[in-house]
């Protein structure tokens, strides 16, 4: 097992044997540990002392279902705190098969005009990874959809790609790290927190992997692993949300548009309402029916990464049957749709495609545009104007750079009071005043406003693991704390967060996840150990943030949410500050 360190200052690399203390770390646990131990909390995120860490999960690279996630970590240019963002891609599988537990990008070259690429292959004769650097300057300032085919032509069809787009080169706070999907498109993103700009600041354009000949993931107890794998697979294939032709496979994550709209928790026109009159036009059901009309048959969704059985990634087609964009996720659909007052699916898909081409996080982009709309830059509902604003971000114009700074920066630039952000990061597609538990997660998460950090939507809206009233603040601090710890563990396994729907309702599925991990590592973890593992990850992240100046005083939702009543339920965010402080105070 290796830690691979890439030094961009002198274009060198070194392989380190994995320290015994890191034996059971992977995914988010690994990225957050290395960042907290090696990155000065007060360093500039785009300076030479920040580090960009990639780590596959515990079971990534194995036959465990829905497990090809890759975690990316660093100090965030957007929040100023620690960040982990993960994506599904063959890249995670390939780095795991080369037995690289972490790839750490360090330093920064003196020549900022020249961009470099890194090629990692398996040296069969030496029995270890081999690294080569290449000049990637020719791929800069270009549409990623035009660049990716050139990389496949140069390095072969079996490669996997990680990289940053042109907005990462610009240093935007909303720049993501891009990975290839299974169709070799630049459409899978570790989008949140500006990690693409950390990569760009180091003049690193791409990391290309070819795992041909690699030995694969070592499994300590193959029998136990296989038992766990079967339990997990059974749970995923029988739960209504995750099963074949179930909710996610049929309608994609955008199935949530109508659900949240009905619940009065779909943020609309910059979080001024919880319902959008155009919701039905952009929902997952509309995508499914629209594709059926345009393609002439029912189109079910595809996997984002190898081994995914949920298959929730969709494609939106043009009238002539050609592909317009993939993937129209719930968050992207909402951010560039309802939150901007836009109900035109074609224009929303165009914006998603542009975000992928430039390297933008769709959530931060949409929330930022809505703030700009509130500031009078363009009117709400102006989809063509929104497309123009995204193109300005790609160009790197003065307006584009103001928008590329993210939600909080745009609020200051345009004099807006209603700025839906926590620790500088724009809020995702769930209204805290209508869903109090997710509001607590937004406020207290180590990642800034982030629904994936503690997805209380499962019980509050979907009734998974028992239905809870979304409008009451009672008991929600404890709920958020438990979900944040559980999520930190799932993010470390390499499984997609969507396994949570099945394992929360099906006990055998939860045990299957534990058995898989024990099988790979040779550990004897129980459910209590899972909770403790996740809590330990959070404690490391919290300690880093406090050292960086992000203490409990910032664990709050924006002031306007505590004052303005949200239609249709006319609630404010009324969770007491004492309850917010208890999330980490009692951990």
pLDDT of residue 112: 78
Does 172 map to a domain? yes
Identify which of 291, 399, 389 has the alpha carbon closest to the alpha carbon of residue 342. Answer: 389
Looking at the structure, tell me whether residues 16 and 165 fall in a common domain.
yes
Rounded to an integer, what distance in angstroms lies between the CA atom of residue 302 and that of residue 327? 10
Helix (H, G, I), strand (E, B) or coil at 42: coil
Structure confidence by residue, pLDDT tens digits, 363-403: 999 999 999 999 999 999 999 999 999 999 999 999 999 99
**Same domain, residue pair 481 and 566:** yes
Which domain range does residue 574 map to? 432-505+525-587
Judge if 456 and 380 occupy the same domain: no
| Inter-residue contact 224 to 519 (CB < 8 Å) | yes
What region, left, alpha or beta, does residue 216 occupy, with left being phi > 0 and alpha being psi -120 to 50 degrees? left
Return phi, psi of residue 562, to 5°. -90, -5
Q: How far apart are CA 419 and CA 429, in angstroms?
A: 14
What tokens does 236 get? 């995923």
Query: Can you give the pLDDT at residue 110?
Result: 87
Model confidence pLDDT, tens digit, residues 129-167:
999 999 999 999 999 999 999 999 999 999 999 999 999
Report the CATH number at residue 441.
1.10.599.10
Query: In the 8-state DSSP scheme, what is residue 115?
Result: -
Task: Mark whether 390 and 451 lie in a shared domain.
Answer: no
Predicted local distance difference test score (pLDDT) of residue 111: 80
Residue 346: Cβ-neighbour burial (10 angstroms; 0-12, 13-18, 19+): middle
Report the C-alpha gap between 356 and 98 in whole angstroms: 28
Q: Does 233 fall in a domain?
A: no
Using CA of residue 122, residue 124, residue 127, residue 132, what is the dihedral sign?
A: negative
Q: Are 83 and 76 in contact (CB under 8 A)?
A: yes
Q: What is the percent of the chain with per-residue pLDDT over 70, rounded to a whole number?
A: 100
Average pLDDT for the chain: 97
What's the CA gap between 343 and 280, in Å, rounded? 9
**Res. 442 pLDDT band, cuts 50 70 90:** very high
Asked if 529 and 403 sit in the same domain, the reply is no
Q: How far is residue 178's CA from residue 42's CA, in Å, rounded to a whole number?
A: 27
Q: How far apart are CA 35 and CA 545, in angstroms?
A: 11
Residue 82 is predicted with a pLDDT of 98
Phi-psi region of 522 (alpha: psi -120 to 50; beta: other; left: phi over 0): left
Residue at 223 is within a domain: no
| Backbone torsions φ then ψ of 204, nearest 5 degrees | -105, 115
User: Locate tokens 């609309």: which residue?
Assistant: 268
Q: Is pLDDT above 90 for 47?
A: yes
Neighbouring residues of 277: CB distance < 8 A, sequence distance ≥ 6: 343
Same domain, 89 and 177: yes
pLDDT at 265: 98
Domain presence at residue 388: yes
From the centroid of its chain, how far is CA 248?
A: 18
On whether both 190 and 325 belong to a single domain, the answer is no
Residues 544, 563 share a domain: yes
Residue 272 counted as domain residue:
yes
Q: Distance between CA atoms of 189 and 175, rounded to whole angstroms?
A: 10
Measured CA to CA, the distance from residue 320 to residue 18 in angstroms comes to: 52
pLDDT surpasses 90 at 479: yes
Last residue of some domain: 399, 429, 459? 429
In this prediction, residues 43-63 reach a mean pLDDT of: 98
Of 411, 429, 447, the residue at which a domain comes to its end is: 429
Cα gap 267→419, rounded to integer Å: 12
Tell me whether residue 516 is in a domain. Answer: no
Residue 230 in any domain: the answer is no
Q: What are phi and psi of 128, to 5 degrees?
A: -160, 165
Domain co-membership, 254 together with 168:
no
Q: Provide the token pair at 179.
A: 């990975």
Same domain, 352 and 290: yes
- Residue 324: phi and psi, rounded to 5, are -100, -45
What is the model's pLDDT at position 274? 98
Contact 175, 147 (CB under 8 A): no
At residue 36 the predicted structure's pLDDT band, cuts being 50, 70 and 90, is very high
pLDDT, one tens digit per residue, over 94-141 is 999 999 999 999 999 988 789 999 999 999 999 999 999 999 999 999
- State percent of the chain over pLDDT 90: 99
**553 φ, ψ (degrees, to nearest 5):** -60, -25
**550-567 confidence digits (pLDDT tens):** 999 999 999 999 999 999
- Closest of 319, 313, 309, 286 to residue 300, by C-alpha: 313
pLDDT in tens, 173-221: 999 999 999 999 999 999 999 999 999 999 999 999 999 999 999 999 9
pLDDT of residue 545: 98
Token pair listed for 536: 């330990």
> Rounded to an integer, what distance in angstroms lies between the CA atom of residue 178 and that of residue 144?
9
Whether the predicted pLDDT of 330 surpasses 90: yes
Burial class of residue 542, CB neighbours in 10 A (0-12, 13-18, 19+)? buried
pLDDT on residue 173? 97
H helices of 218-361, in order, are: 222-238, 247-251, 256-262, 279-282, 284-295, 330-335, 345-358
What's the pLDDT score for residue 587?
A: 86
The reply to whether 419 and 498 lie within a common domain is: no
Domain of 185, CATH number, reads 3.60.9.10
The string of DSSP codes covering 395-415 is HT-HHHHHHHT-HHHHHHHTT
405/407 Cα distance (integer angstroms): 7
Question: DSSP letter at 261?
Answer: H
Q: What's the burial of 415, exposed, middle or buried (CB within 10 Å: 0-12/13-18/19+)?
A: exposed
The position carrying tokens 């030479």 is: 48
Tell me the pLDDT tens digit for each residue of 480-497: 999 999 999 999 999 999
Q: What is the number of structural domains in the chain?
A: 3
The pLDDT tens digits for 496-507 are 999 999 999 999
In a domain, 236, yes or no: no
Mapping DSSP to helix (H, G, I), strand (E, B) and coil, where does residue 568 land?
coil
- Looking at the structure, tell me whether residues 531 and 400 fall in a common domain: no
- Across residues 393-416, what is the average pLDDT? 97
Mean pLDDT over residues 326-348, rounded? Answer: 98
Of the candidates 149, 180, 210, which is a domain's last residue? 210
Here the CATH number for the domain that contains residue 367 is 1.10.569.10
- The strands making up 100-106's β-sheet, listed across from edge to edge, are 12-17, 2-7, 100-106, 52-56, 69-75, 82-88
Q: Which run of H or of E encompasses 269?
A: none
Task: Collapse the DSSP code of 3 into the 3-class scheme (helix H, G, I; strand E, B; otherwise coil) and give the result.
Answer: strand
Cα–Cα distance between 305 and 316 in angstroms, integer? 19
């Amino acid at each position: 097992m290796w830690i691979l360190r890439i030094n961009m200052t002198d274009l060198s690399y070194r392989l380190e044997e994995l320290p015994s203390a890191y034996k059971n770390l992977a995914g988010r646990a690994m990225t957050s540990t290395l960042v907290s131990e090696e990155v000065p909390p007060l360093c500039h995120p785009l300076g030479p002392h920040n580090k960009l860490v990639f780590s596959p999960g515990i079971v990534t690279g194995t036959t465990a279902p829905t497990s090809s996630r890759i975690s990316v970590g660093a100090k965030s240019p957007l929040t100023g705190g620690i960040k982990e963002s993960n994506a599904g891609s063959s890249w995670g599988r390939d780095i795991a098969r080369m037995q690289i537990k972490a790839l750490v990008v360090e330093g920064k070259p003196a020549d900022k005009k020249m961009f470099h690429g890194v090629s990692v292959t398996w040296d069969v004769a030496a029995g270890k990874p081999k690294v080569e650097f290449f000049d990637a300057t020719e791929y800069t300032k270009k549409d990623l959809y035009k660049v990716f085919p050139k990389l496949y032509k140069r390095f072969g069809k079996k490669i996997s790609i990680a990289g940053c787009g042109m907005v990462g080169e610009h240093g935007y706070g909303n720049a993501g790290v891009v990975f290839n999907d299974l169709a070799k498109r630049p459409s899978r993103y570790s989008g949140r927190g500006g990690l693409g700009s950390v990569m760009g600041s180091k003049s690193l354009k791409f990391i290309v992997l070819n795992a041909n000949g690699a030995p694969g993931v070592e499994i300590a107890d193959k029998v136990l692993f296989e038992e766990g794998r079967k339990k997990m697979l059974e749970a995923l294939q029988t739960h209504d949300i995750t099963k074949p032709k179930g909710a996610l496979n049929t309608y994609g994550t955008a199935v949530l548009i109508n659900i949240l709209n009905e619940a009065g928790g779909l943020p609309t026109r910059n979080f001024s309402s919880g319902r959008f009159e155009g919701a039905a036009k952009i929902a997952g059901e509309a995508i499914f029916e629209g594709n059926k009309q345009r393609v002439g048959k029912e189109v079910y969704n595809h996997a984002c990464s190898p081994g995914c059985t949920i298959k929730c990634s969709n494609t939106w087609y043009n009238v002539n049957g050609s592909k317009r964009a993939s993937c129209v996720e719930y968050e992207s659909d909402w951010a560039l749709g309802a939150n901007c007052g836009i109900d035109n699916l074609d224009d929303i898909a165009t914006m998603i495609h542009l975000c992928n081409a430039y390297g933008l996080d769709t959530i931060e982009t949409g929330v930022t545009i809505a703030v700009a709309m509130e500031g009078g830059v363009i009117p709400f509902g102006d989809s063509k104007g929104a497309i123009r604003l995204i193109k300005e971000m790609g160009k790197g114009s003065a307006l584009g750079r103001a928008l590329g700074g993210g939600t909080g920066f745009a609020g200051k630039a345009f004099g807006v009071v209603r700025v839906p952000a926590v620790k500088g990061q724009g809020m995702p597609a769930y209204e805290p005043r209508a869903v109090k538990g997710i509001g607590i997660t937004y406020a207290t998460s180590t990642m800034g406003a982030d629904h994936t950090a503690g997805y209380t939507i499962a019980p509050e809206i979907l009734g998974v693991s028992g239905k809870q009233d979304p409008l009451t603040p009672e008991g929600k601090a404890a709920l958020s704390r438990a979900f944040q710890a559980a999520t930190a563990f799932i993010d470390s396994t390499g499984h997609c967060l969507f396994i949570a729907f099945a394992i929360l309702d099906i006990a055998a599925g939860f045990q299957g996840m534990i058995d898989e991990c024990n099988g790979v590592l040779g550990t004897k973890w129980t459910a209590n150990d899972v909770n403790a593992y996740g809590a330990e990850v959070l404690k490391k992240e919290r300690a880093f943030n406090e050292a960086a100046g992000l203490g409990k005083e910032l664990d709050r939702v924006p002031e306007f949410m505590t004052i303005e009543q949200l239609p249709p339920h006319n609630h404010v965010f009324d969770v007491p500050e004492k309850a917010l402080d208890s999330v980490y105070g009692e951990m």
